[in-house]
Amino acid sequence: MVRTYREYFNRNFTKDKYVQFLRVLGEDYPPITIRFAETPVFIPEDLKNQLIEAGEEIIKLIKQPDFKALTDNAIPKEWIVPNENDHPHFLAFDFAICKDEEGRLVPRLIEMQGFPSLFGFQAHLADVYKETFELDELADFSPFFHGIDQQSYIALLKKVILGPFAPEEVALMDIDALNQKTAIDFFVTAKHLGIRILSLTDIFKEGNQLFYIEQGKKIRLRRIYNRLIFDEVSTQQELFKLSFDPRDELDIEWITHPNWFYRISKFTMPFLKNEFVPETRFLNTIEVIPSDLENYVLKPLFSFAGMGVIIEVSKADIDAITDPENWILQRKVNYEPVVQSPDGLVKAELRLLYIWPDGEEPQLCINLARLSRGKMIGVRYNADFDWVGGTVGLMAQ
C-alpha cells in the first residue's frame, strides 16, 4: 500500500527467501500449521491515523458507564462466568481495507473481540519478515504504535499477564493447547513470560482452587491467561468433569475474563455509529427487510472464525431464522484489492491489538494483518492461493 516499499519488496522477492522465512519463523518451535503470506503489509501514514481514530471511537463506547448494562444480553446465560472484572485486558478490532468515493484508503470495522489474539507471536513475525527480506535496508519499520518497541511491549505483556505472581503460578489455557492452530503464539508467549501452556484437562480443582502437576509436584494456579473459547467446548462439556468448570466460584484471576469475549463482539457493533462502522442492526429489530439484500451480510452473534455467516443473503434465509435476536444484518463492505502481488492485487484486513492494564488506559500496541483472494478472509476461503494468509502491518518510523 506504499508504492515505493511495495515495488522494492516485490522486485527483491524470491521463493527461496520465502522458504527461508518459513524456516526461520518456526525455528525452535513445533511445526506451524497456519499459512503465512509471502509479504508483510506496508501501512501508509494516512491509513495508520484513520485506524487509530477508528479504534478510539470504539473504546469510547466500551468505556461508557452503562456499557455492561448495554451488553448484558450478549452473554449466553449458560456461559456466564462469575467474578467479572471492570474491563478486558485485551482488545482486538478487525478492519477491512476499502476505498471511499475519492479513492482514499479507509478502514471499515468487520469484527471485534474482548479476547487475546496473537499478541506474543506478531512481534516475532515482524522481526522475521524484516530479517529474511532485508527490509532494514529500506527503512526503519515497526509493527508497533505510539513509540512502543519490542522491549517495552514484552514488559507490558508481563505486567498484564503475570501481575504480582511467579510465572509458574500463571498458565495459558486452551481446550487442547499444544494442538491448536495458533499454538505458535502460545510457545512464543511462554518463551517471553516463562508461563506454562496447559490444556483444560491438565488442570484440576481442589475446593475452589486450581492446580496442575509438574515433575510430580502439585502447583497452584493463581491466574489463567485464557485462550479457551466456549463455542469450541460446548459439545464437549464432559471435559469439565475431568478438570474444572469455569462457571464455578473459583479462587482464580482471569486474563481476560471469559465474559468479555461476548460483551465485545458482533453484539457490540449495532451500538457503534460512526464513519468507520458499516450499518449494523440486530435482526429482531428490523421491521422492514431491505429490498437490496445483496448489499448485506447475515451473521450469527455466537460463532467464531466466520462460521455460519451468510454472504449471499435472501429473504428465505431470514425467514428461516428462529432466533433473530441472535443475528445481525450488516451492510457489506467492499474490500479493495490493495496489495500488489506478482500476479494481481490482493485484499487486506488489519487487526488492531490493544493491551489494557488494570487501573490504566487501553494501549494500542501492535497489529495483525491477513491477506485474501477469496470471498472472505480466512484459511478455508483461501486454500488454493498464494500471497494470502496471516501477516503483519509494518510502518516506517
* The pLDDT value given to residue 380: 54
The residue-averaged pLDDT of 270-292 equals 95
Question: What's the rounded Cα separation, in Å, for the pair 200 and 233?
Answer: 10
Nearest to 5 by CA among 339, 337, 335, 336: 339
pLDDT of residue 161 exceeding 80, the answer is: yes
* The pLDDT value given to residue 376: 58
Rg for the chain (alpha carbons), in Å? Answer: 21
Can you give 321-348 as a three-state secondary structure string? Answer: CCCHHHEEEEECCCCCCCEEECCEEEEE
Res. 96 pLDDT band, cuts 50 70 90:
very high
Do the beta carbons of residue 62 and residue 87 sit within 8 Å? yes
223-226/141-142 β-pairing: unpaired
Question: What's the rounded Cα separation, in Å, for the pair 18 and 22?
Answer: 6
* The pLDDT value given to residue 382: 60
Count other C-beta atoms under 10 Å from residue 73's C-beta.
Answer: 15
Cis peptide before 71 (omega within 30 of 0): no
> Which grid cell is 360?
490504566
For 327-375, the pLDDT digits (tens) are 999 999 999 999 999 999 999 999 999 999 999 999 999 999 999 997 7
Question: What's the rounded Cα separation, in Å, for the pair 179 and 198?
Answer: 11
Residue located via cell numbers 514488559: 155
Report the residue count for the chain.
397
Do the beta carbons of residue 57 and residue 93 sit within 8 Å? no
The residue-averaged pLDDT of 234-244 equals 91
* The pLDDT value given to residue 232: 84
Res. 308 pLDDT band, cuts 50 70 90:
confident
* The pLDDT value given to residue 71: 96
For 18-45, the pLDDT digits (tens) are 999 999 999 989 889 899 999 999 999 9
* The pLDDT value given to residue 210: 98
pLDDT of residue 137 exceeding 90, the answer is: no
Q: What share of the chain is helix, strand, coil (3-state, %, to 5)?
A: 35, 25, 40
- Alpha carbon 357 to its chain centroid, in Å, reads 18
- Alpha carbon 53 to its chain centroid, in Å, reads 19
pLDDT-above-70 percentage for the chain: 97
Res. 69 pLDDT band, cuts 50 70 90:
very high
For 171-204, the pLDDT digits (tens) are 999 999 999 999 999 999 999 999 999 999 999 9
* The pLDDT value given to residue 125: 98
* The pLDDT value given to residue 377: 67
Query: How many CA atoms are closer than 13 Å to the CA of 230, on its beta-carbon side?
Result: 17
Do the beta carbons of residue 115 and residue 90 sit within 8 Å? yes
Do the beta carbons of residue 121 and residue 191 sit within 8 Å? no
pLDDT of residue 127 exceeding 70, the answer is: yes
**Domains with residue ranges and CATH for the chain:** 3-148+259-278+333-396 (no CATH), 162-255 (3.40.50.11290)
Res. 381 pLDDT band, cuts 50 70 90:
low
* The pLDDT value given to residue 313: 95
> Which grid cell is 371?
491477506
pLDDT-above-90 percentage for the chain: 89
* The pLDDT value given to residue 1: 82
Strands (DSSP E) along the chain, which ranges? Answer: 41-42, 90-99, 105-113, 141-142, 170-174, 196-199, 204-206, 209-214, 217-221, 223-226, 253-255, 280-282, 296-300, 327-331, 339-341, 344-355, 363-372, 389-391, 393-396
pTM: 0.94
